[in-house]
Structure 1
Amino acid sequence: MATVVDAKQNAPVVSAHDINIQVAIQLANLVKSTLGPYGMDKEMVDPAGVVVMTNDGATILRETKLHHPTARIITEVARTQEENCFDGTTSSVVITGELMSKAKDLLNLKIHPTRIAKGYTLANKKAQTLLEEIGVDVTDDLLLSVGKTAMTGKSAEAEQDQLAQIALDVIKSTTLDNINIVKRPNGKVKDSLAISGLLIDREKMDHNMPDSVKDAKIALISVDVTLPEFAQQLQIQVNDNNAVKEFIESRKAQLQEIAETILNSGANVVLCKRDIDPFVVEIFAQKGVYAARRVAMSDMEAVAKAGKGRMVSAIDGLKASDLATVGLLEEVAVGEKPLIKLTEIETAGSVSVLLRAPTLHSVDEIGRAFDDAIGVISVAMEHGKVLAGGGAPYLHLSKNLREFAATVSGREQMAVESYAQALEVIPAALAENSGLDPLDTLIRLRQLHASAAGHSNGVDVENGGGVNMLDMGVIEPLSVVSQALDSATDIASQLLRIDNIIEMQRGPEIGEDGYQY
């Protein structure tokens, strides 16, 4: 009689390492094609049909719908990189994927995961020292190149000289938290400009309101300027026309009182986060008060900070001391719609940048590129060191880490060697995305890096082979590369230490935890 065999006994076992490695590689492949000046864009569509077209790694990873927990862990690399350095997100995720891919080969050789993680940590520590050795002190010209490099490969590239100069001028005149960026389509990128003051993407509510206000006293209101919600939901029965008129007059009197409260504070400008009742708008227009509604919270906060005012949520408590003061408020025409322009601000440091582009999608992408540019310039200024770009530092690290591996004892030596190999994924991806052969490019670059002065040679995306990136003006902050390596190493080491993925039990619902709500 034949023996019955359970088919499940022969089923392949998939370990947590296999799953994590596969997820890391897939996520890296998702963004790898966006690297470099010839990187491709991604078209992202949400359930409502809203389309975003971008090659910004941070945006792609933030907006992509991810279900796997490991993928969400890896996106922390992107979040950390973006928050700390404003650029290098794609590089950090791609390096993470390559480190996990190399770890798979080491695991197949029966090297323990914690040994691999330890080797990766040793390699990263040495890499940080090597980066400091090749760092170049910043100058204004290098900072300008840093801004241009950050915008390369994006919609802003055609006018990157002008935008990079604006970014440099802005960041040298103030701090990041004092920079306000306004984006407007239906224009040319070369029409972008920066002003000392604030720009708000709103307009007056009534054409009878003034176009400009000198010595503006601005009331910043975060609630609807109308009757309280409970007063709008009353159900009243009336028997004659006089009662109707009496009810209407009563409501008008209440709205008049609200308007008078604002006017008595001394305000001649009202910026409201929400809506303003039409009757109140009419009163403001008659009194020569400028009013705008649905002003973004970020703009309200910027005005409050610049004008030393306070945002209020209770109109009856509005006082003169709550008002923000500005020397001049103007409504200026920009394209089809006007903007509110605030200048002559006593508090120094408020700067606004107006970005223009032909379409809404392109101006959004230029906004992301410009945001990266001012971020990396500020990071470079703060750290004081920059590096050649184009994959040059990764090749330099790869070469020197191979030599360092020979000094490491134990099986960690193989992990250090794998770490060195993994770093070549960046120049290889730059070459491939530019239509070049990655293998031939790496061979040529290794030859150039063999000399002591070759550490500045990166991928020549135009002619193939390598070229001195410092001479080409392809520069990136040292801290961007440093943080990318730190983030990738930490997350790869963390994933390698996981041997089981376990679903947690459902947490207690309200009422099931014994607490009396």
Structure 2
Amino acid sequence: MAAMMQPQIILLKEGTDTSQGRAQVVSNINACTAVGDTVRTTLGPRGMDKLIHDDKGGVTISNDGATIMRLLDIVHPAAKILVDIAKSQDSEVGDGTTTVVLLAAEFLKEAKPYVEDGVHPHSLIRSYRNAGNMAIQRVKELAVSIEGKSLEEKKSLLAKCAATTLSSKLIGGEKEFFASMVVDAVLAIGNDDRLNLIGIKKLALELLCKMLCNAVSGSAGCYAKVQVPGGTMRDSFLVNGVAFKKTFSYAGFEQQPKKFLNPKILLLNIELELKSEKENAEIRLSDPLQYQSIVDAEWNIIYDKLDKCVKSGAKIVLSRLAIGDLATQYFADRDIFCAGRVTEEDLQRVAAATGGTVQTSVNNVIDEVLGSCEVFEEKQVGNERFNIFSGCPSGQTATIVLRGGADQFIEEAERSLHDAIMIVRRALKNSTVVPGGGAIDMEISKYLRQHARTIAGKSQFFVNSFAKALEVIPRQLCDNAGFDATDVLNKLRQKHASGEGANYGVDINTGGIADSFANFVWEPAVVKINAINAATEASCLILSVDETVKNPKSESAQGNAAAGAMGGRGGGAMRGRGGRGMRRR
């Protein structure tokens, strides 16, 4: 009776929503599985693309896991963890973003029956962590080093890694062509970690024959949307130096020379044009004749700057700010090439390549601050002109020029090349590769199944489930290519169990199995290690959450934001999937 009379203890504000217990864990697992199902079909060389239409009317076509996860408007708090691991995989190694989401979702899917049967999540977490560590150790044992090879051998091996990455992209049809280009670009920047030293210029293309696509070089982050007739993907080229689109020019520009051998290059961050007085400037004259001296002073200032540029011995003058019509004609009369309004990024890349230093004044310009290159030329690409600096002394920059059929194609091609560039850089730094095509996943799965038989207790089931989840990669490769996944997986299990098929994976061309290593389907070991590690940590984190608390303020704020977004949108596909743990109204 005394127990019944105890007052109710109120800890949280009225209206606070709490969801806890087994139902909450299952709800989180269901949300993550739904996210995994969204990107599942994009895996592998025969993966499908996703067309994502945002609230601003922009359209993105991509099969890159990180891009899709970033553009999906996911509001479920647990499912957002999968977005984070896709981002971390993209920034860390550049590829394997779909793989990491798929593995995390599959680990959770395999854990769901045990959670529903009353198994404590920490038993699962402990077994998953042990299995993940063993899997990573096994990957390191199976990895093959490419250290100690000659430059030509190393280039060949790196090109095969890049080709494996590009095989699942839109430009997979020309993967050998782009793979060698990517390897040359990465080797050109040496050990420098700055990715912006590899530029990618994009030009849109309008063709009467829609079957033709192109690719052209340029500078990272500078997007030129231009209609360029003709050409194919193989018109793409790599500049061992810097290339950027011709900037806005004044009269007199066409009189300037368009090609130089071994020129000196002056880089400026000042305006070279006649400046009038400020709007609020006030000058009082006692004699009208003095006005001419003020006008003359303005002209003398600009001519003094131009004289100093000429005396420096530079044959090419680039400035981040405007170079006016007077300066353009002045330089043309003295056989000097100039370009104003060059973007900050392009100017910095020219400085890195030519060894020059950007100047904020033309006073005391010495030889040490001037850059140089073997050849400078202005080259016609379609209907556009590019300024190309090649044979640069530091050789620490490279530019890929891309041409393509539509804006979406060009953007996806750039994302594909970014992934390939990241993979080649990682392979260079870590120097170990593993067979792709699901071969490494099947081998780890077999290894963990064998280990599970030596474990007494419930952990045997959990490690076995972890091993089964790893088979999602070869299974999904088969499903996406239209093959019989059950038949192919049975063949793979038999081959790996024989002890001689560690390198055997899915043959995407015949629908059977093949030696992935012999077929040059390789990927850096760091990609697989990072994917298994991130997926295991994410699944363990989601399994460890058994309660979600939402205070009324955050819920109403989210509701208002969602209502505002719904006003200009047809309703996001991922928005109303709250799961059982969300408050019902």
Indicate whether the TM-score tops 0.5: yes
Secondary structure in structure 1 of the residue aligned to 2:115: helix
In the TM superposition, residue 220 of structure 1 has moved relative to its aligned partner by 3.2
Q: Indicate the residue corresponding to 1:73 in structure 2.
A: 81
Q: 1:225 to 1:491 in 2, by over 3 A?
A: farther
Equivalent positions of 1:457-468 (< 5 A) are 457-468=504-515
Query: Which residue, 148, 152, 156 being the options, matches 2:171?
Result: 156
In 2, Cα distance between equivalents of 1:46 and 1:294: 32
In the TM superposition, residue 402 of structure 1 has moved relative to its aligned partner by 1.6
Task: Count the aligned residue pairs.
Answer: 494
In 2, Cα distance between equivalents of 1:358 and 1:494: 43
Q: Does 1:86 align with 2:101?
A: no
Contact 1:261 1:315 (C-alpha < 8 Å) held by counterparts? no
Contact 2:188 2:240 (C-alpha < 8 Å) held by counterparts? no
Contact 1:184 1:357 (C-alpha < 8 Å) held by counterparts? yes
Q: 1:408 to 1:198 in 2, by over 3 A?
A: same
Query: Which residue, 447, 462, 466 being the options, matches 1:400?
Result: 447
Q: Indicate the residue corresponding to 2:115 in structure 1.
A: 107
Q: Indicate the residue corresponding to 2:577 in structure 1.
A: none
Q: 1:318 to 1:439 in 2, by over 3 A?
A: farther
Query: Which residue, 19, 31, 50 being the options, matches 1:42?
Result: 50
Q: Indicate the residue corresponding to 2:259 in structure 1.
A: 212
In the TM superposition, residue 331 of structure 1 has moved relative to its aligned partner by 0.6
In 2, Cα distance between equivalents of 1:128 and 1:208: 63
Contact 2:247 2:341 (C-alpha < 8 Å) held by counterparts? no
Equivalent positions of 1:94-493 (< 5 A) are 94-138=102-146, 140=154, 141-175=156-190, 177=194, 178-186=197-205, 187-203=231-247, 205=249, 206-222=253-269, 233-234=279-280, 256=303, 259=306, 262-263=309-310, 267-312=314-359, 314-315=360-361, 319-320=365-366, 321-493=368-540
In the TM superposition, residue 236 of structure 1 has moved relative to its aligned partner by 7.7
Contact 1:226 1:258 (C-alpha < 8 Å) held by counterparts? no
Q: 1:318 to 1:459 in 2, by over 3 A?
A: farther
Of the structure 1 ranges 385-394 and 62-71, higher mean CA displacement relative to structure 2 is found in 62-71
In 2, Cα distance between equivalents of 1:410 and 1:350: 57
In the TM superposition, residue 266 of structure 1 has moved relative to its aligned partner by 5.0
Q: 1:226 to 1:406 in 2, by over 3 A?
A: farther
Amino acid at match of 1:422: A
Contact 2:51 2:59 (C-alpha < 8 Å) held by counterparts? yes
Amino acid at match of 1:474: V
Contact 1:119 1:415 (C-alpha < 8 Å) held by counterparts? yes
In the TM superposition, residue 377 of structure 1 has moved relative to its aligned partner by 2.7
In 2, Cα distance between equivalents of 1:169 and 1:437: 39
- The structure carrying a bigger helix percent of its residues is 1
Contact 2:26 2:116 (C-alpha < 8 Å) held by counterparts? no
Secondary structure in structure 1 of the residue aligned to 2:57: coil
Q: 1:347 to 1:143 in 2, by over 3 A?
A: closer
Contact 2:26 2:115 (C-alpha < 8 Å) held by counterparts? no
Give the RMSD, CA atoms, in angstroms: 3.5
Q: Indicate the residue corresponding to 2:583 in structure 1.
A: none
Contact 1:262 1:318 (C-alpha < 8 Å) held by counterparts? no
In the TM superposition, residue 117 of structure 1 has moved relative to its aligned partner by 1.9
Amino acid at match of 1:182: K
In the TM superposition, residue 433 of structure 1 has moved relative to its aligned partner by 0.7
In 1, Cα distance between equivalents of 2:496 and 2:159: 26
In the TM superposition, residue 490 of structure 1 has moved relative to its aligned partner by 1.6
Query: Which residue, 66, 75, 98 being the options, matches 1:58?
Result: 66
Secondary structure in structure 1 of the residue aligned to 2:47: coil
Amino acid at match of 1:198: V
In the TM superposition, residue 388 of structure 1 has moved relative to its aligned partner by 1.6
Deviations 1:425-465 (A, max 9, x none): 11111111111233333223222222101222212333334
Of the structure 1 ranges 287-296 and 22-31, higher mean CA displacement relative to structure 2 is found in 287-296
Contact 2:188 2:397 (C-alpha < 8 Å) held by counterparts? no
Contact 1:190 1:356 (C-alpha < 8 Å) held by counterparts? no
Q: Indicate the residue corresponding to 2:32 in structure 1.
A: 24
Amino acid at match of 1:152: S
In the TM superposition, residue 488 of structure 1 has moved relative to its aligned partner by 0.9
Secondary structure in structure 2 of the residue aligned to 1:155: coil
Contact 1:171 1:377 (C-alpha < 8 Å) held by counterparts? yes
Contact 1:34 1:41 (C-alpha < 8 Å) held by counterparts? yes
Q: Indicate the residue corresponding to 1:33 in structure 2.
A: 41
In 1, Cα distance between equivalents of 2:475 and 2:377: 52
Secondary structure in structure 2 of the residue aligned to 1:33: helix
Contact 2:248 2:341 (C-alpha < 8 Å) held by counterparts? no
In the TM superposition, residue 12 of structure 1 has moved relative to its aligned partner by 8.9
Identity of paired residues, percent?
Answer: 28
Amino acid at match of 1:179: I
Contact 1:82 1:89 (C-alpha < 8 Å) held by counterparts? yes
In the TM superposition, residue 69 of structure 1 has moved relative to its aligned partner by 4.0
Secondary structure in structure 1 of the residue aligned to 2:547: coil
In 1, Cα distance between equivalents of 2:105 and 2:328: 57
Of the structure 1 ranges 190-199 and 14-23, higher mean CA displacement relative to structure 2 is found in 14-23
Of the structure 1 ranges 320-329 and 81-90, higher mean CA displacement relative to structure 2 is found in 320-329
Amino acid at match of 1:196: N
Contact 2:376 2:389 (C-alpha < 8 Å) held by counterparts? yes
In 1, Cα distance between equivalents of 2:93 and 2:277: 50
Of the structure 1 ranges 298-307 and 270-279, higher mean CA displacement relative to structure 2 is found in 270-279
Amino acid at match of 1:119: S
In the TM superposition, residue 154 of structure 1 has moved relative to its aligned partner by 2.0
In the TM superposition, residue 397 of structure 1 has moved relative to its aligned partner by 1.2
Secondary structure in structure 2 of the residue aligned to 1:207: helix
Q: 1:219 to 1:446 in 2, by over 3 A?
A: same
Q: 1:172 to 1:344 in 2, by over 3 A?
A: closer
Secondary structure in structure 2 of the residue aligned to 1:310: coil
Amino acid at match of 1:144: A
Secondary structure in structure 1 of the residue aligned to 2:243: strand
In 1, Cα distance between equivalents of 2:277 and 2:58: 37
Secondary structure in structure 2 of the residue aligned to 1:270: strand
In 1, Cα distance between equivalents of 2:54 and 2:330: 42
Secondary structure in structure 1 of the residue aligned to 2:171: helix
Of the structure 1 ranges 485-494 and 141-150, higher mean CA displacement relative to structure 2 is found in 141-150
Amino acid at match of 2:388: K
In the TM superposition, residue 225 of structure 1 has moved relative to its aligned partner by 5.4
In 1, Cα distance between equivalents of 2:312 and 2:55: 46
